[in-house]
Structure 1
Amino acid sequence: MQENITSKELMLKKIRKALLEKRDNPYPNLEDTPLYKESEEMLEVLFAEQLTAVSGNFIYCENGIEFIENILHLADKYKWRKIYCWEPELQELLTEYEFPFYKTDKDFELAEAGITLCEALIARNGSVMVSNQNSAGRRLSIFPHHHIVIARTGQMVMDLKDAFRLIKDKYGSQIPTMLSTITGPSRTADIEKTLVLGAHGPKELFVFLIEDFI
């Protein structure tokens, strides 16, 4: 007489059989396996590649003079007239070379470009880490259509954990209340899956890495 087995019983029977079978772990050392493959590229090169891949712009400068030359070129190209900078050390540099900018938030609703510092550049994914500790706060990094970031070579790190190490070394127990990473210009594909840049923030991101900076 053939035993009647329901589909549920058959499924449970297969599960019990599978559990009794000895199966080799296909990934025996998964926890010890690094998440990323090691890269032999220079951090600056890797960062530039990753930033460019997400529609960002990378400009390397040996010193402040090269920075001024490059930002003058961008200002002429994009016809910037209202450029805002609230970082005292950047203001000093711009003033030294008579570069026009706004020191206050007068007519800020008309801002075309904002110049800020950053906490770190993360080479792995081309991201910029910013915090609310800088004088620019958060407004200059999200409101103007063009965001210009100034970084020193010592702020270039490989991974996010390295960026947090810089933060800890810099601030100790007084960690900023706001830390954020920026990966390329603002973007969204919410409407009909069409990628749009600048939907919720800057539509252009320029990262200046200056070798010899004050």
Structure 2
Amino acid sequence: MSFFKKLFNTPKPEEPKASNLEFENLPIEQIFVKKFVENQGKFLYCTSLTEVTTNIASIIKENSWGEIICNDYDLQKLIKSVDVKTSEKINNKNPLFVSCEHLIAENGSILFSSNQLKEFKISELSENFIVYATTSQLVKSKGESLTGIKTRYQGNIPSNISAIKNFNPSSKNEDFMSYGNTNSKNLYLLLFEDL
């Protein structure tokens, strides 16, 4: 029998990769955070809206930002008590305080649409982002996030759907498939526990 196996060079069944096994039994939140931090994102977990506001104030102070952009009415309520000038007009000079569509665990990326970015491409926006998201926005994969958008916005799917995966604008990506991708951002994620 082994003679035929050698003769026909039957490949051995592929062993599962250790890295996949490592993540297989982890909760989706831990998978996302691990991948997000590996991509050099800055992660702040918040259990109350007071914590969210305090963390925003600390981020602004740490970076000496005098003005931020926020065009979301609900998010403007969060930063009302923070000592910073806000503008609703999106530009590429001031940091952007924004929500997102989904947090994708499989690669630690953050998915946005025209609901957050309007008609702007990510590459046209500021290098600095503060993103507010909730734990209910976590999904396993890109496919699941796109299905979620399709379900949520039935018949009125937003345009300009794109993601940020690299959170260090000065890093050099040697991956040929990412050549020319300028979606790298200095990004702070405020993840609010809502489940």
Fold conserved (TM > 0.5)? Answer: yes
SS in structure 1 of the partner of residue 58 of structure 2: helix
How far did residue 69 of structure 1 move? 0.7
Are 2:121 and 2:160, in contact at CA under 8 Å, matched by a contact in 1?
no
* TM-aligned CA distance change 1:44 to 1:125, over 3 Å: same
Structure 2 residue ranges without an equivalent (≥5): 1-6, 15-19, 176-180
- 1:103 matches 2:84: no
2:57–2:82 CA contact under 8 A, matched in 1: no
Aligned length: 180
TM-score by length of 1: 0.71
Is contact 1:46–1:124 with CA below 8 Å preserved after alignment?
A: yes
Q: Bigger shift: 180-189 or 74-83?
A: 180-189
Give the deviation of 1:66 after TM superposition.
0.2
Distance of 2:30 and 2:166 partners within structure 1: 16
Code of the residue aligned with 1:189 in structure 2: it is K
What do residues 122-146 of structure 1 show as CA deviations (whole Å, max 9, x unaligned)?
Answer: 1111100100123x42549542221
Give, in whole Å, the separation in 2 of the partners of 1:122 and 1:56: 13
1:189 aligns with 2:172: yes
Q: 1:74 to 1:188 in 2, by over 3 A?
A: closer
Per the TM alignment, residue 48 of structure 1 is displaced from its structure 2 partner at its CA by 1.3
Pairing 1:166–2:171 present? no
SS in 1 for 2:56: helix
CA distance in 2, matches of 1:117, 1:203: 15
- Give the aligned partner of residue 69 of structure 1: 54
Partners of 2:60 and 2:121 lie apart in 1 by 17
Unaligned residue ranges in structure 1 (runs of 5+): 1-20, 29-35, 194-198
Instruction: Give the TM-score taking structure 2 as reference length.
Output: 0.77
Structure 1 residue 189, shift from structure 2 partner:
2.9
SS for the counterpart of 1:169 is helix
Of the two, which has the highest radius of gyration?
1
Q: Is 2:193 the counterpart of 1:211?
A: yes
Q: In 1, are the aligned partners of 2:41 and 2:166 still within 8 Å (CA)? A: yes
Alignment of 1:55 onto 2:40: yes
Q: Residue 148 and residue 140 in structure 1: after superposition, are their counterparts in 2 closer, same or farther (change >3 A)? A: farther
Where does 1:1-214 land on structure 2 (aligned, <5 Å)?
Answer: 22=8, 24=10, 26-27=12-13, 36-37=20-21, 39-95=24-80, 97-105=81-89, 108=91, 110-111=93-94, 113-134=95-116, 136-137=117-118, 139=120, 141-142=122-123, 143-185=125-167, 186=169, 189=172, 200=182, 203-212=185-194
* Pair 1:137–1:99, CA change in 2 (3 A): farther
